Structure 1
């Protein structure tokens, strides 16, 4: 339930969260729409059932109706392809938040909690523009430098107007060839490292150069790729140094 006193969701996971799960739990709560009520008590309401009660059948019925899909994906196998990748589950969840436009940029936080959002709302990467999803991951000069490096290094010509569009494109690459595995993992690593760098600058006051971020992207892409069955005979460090050899 929403707690107006704490200005937060009063939810308790069924088990104790691991350390790395706390940020994901916070993001999940922030992705929910907050309700502000001055009087009365909150009560749960399941909108997929006319009686307001949750049933598995109501979920199954909704998922089986194409016209009620939450996203207009290019392929019905988008999520299936995403879960078949070799990246960690927390990064899969991150890609999922990008697909649903719910990653917690300054713009998103201002919409949900305008009174509690920190100021200024500018992009900590370039310190020139307000931070929203499209700017942070696509239009920011640092992001642009990273995408140019990937395009040049992997001979990849992926031009997307938003992180959501980029993630949909990435999830269309079936993980059946070495090239597709390398492409997906490198782009996923880039998105993840941009987000990590953004958070490091905000919460830790630490900054890396574009060159350092690019090295981190390659290293992480190499690590994730080494977990794929297609690369069982390769070391992560070797893959990271030779990403273009497989593209």
Structure 2
């Protein structure tokens, strides 16, 4: 969690992200947890009661974590970090921009996104482009690379096809791969998510989700999202066996 530590310390110092900040590429199989990783990182950054030793976010009790970025997504989050300015303690806002590259079909659409992101000023900016390999075939990766060099922000990109990206783009990014967790790791992680999101969960049901999802994070999260709709029952073994249908890509 070095990035979490760095961003929070910058905010405490009243600093703004400069042009030399690293950019990150998350790569791995579809539904292997790339977007979940970004969402968890965002929550660690915005949490107002972060454990300063482990850098784990709180149990969802602070104002920022109650926005539940893991469930609601990143777009539209309102978050700020405590920072010290010239006039005493103030807040430095964190601004998010999330772009689904599957919905960008022309250079004009990408340019519109980049222009709107440029209109945001002040604070710490985090930009996230999902499925970024979709831009390469349309010749928009050079436009995006120029924006990365020009804009003061922390950039995240994710893809299931890193081989489809141009070398000049790959060489600019720090690469972080995702891989399936062990059964025990995933069961513990799902149990933590159930606790965070207030979902009743039977231990046997959690283990069955691990097995039935084949340890694919995105697939397992679908089970939790569906179980969260029933406050009384939550995640039960009957639900996992009878009601939750695993959709294969």
TM-score for the superposition, normalised by structure 2: 0.26
Q: Which has the higher contact order (CA 8 A, sep 6+)?
A: 2
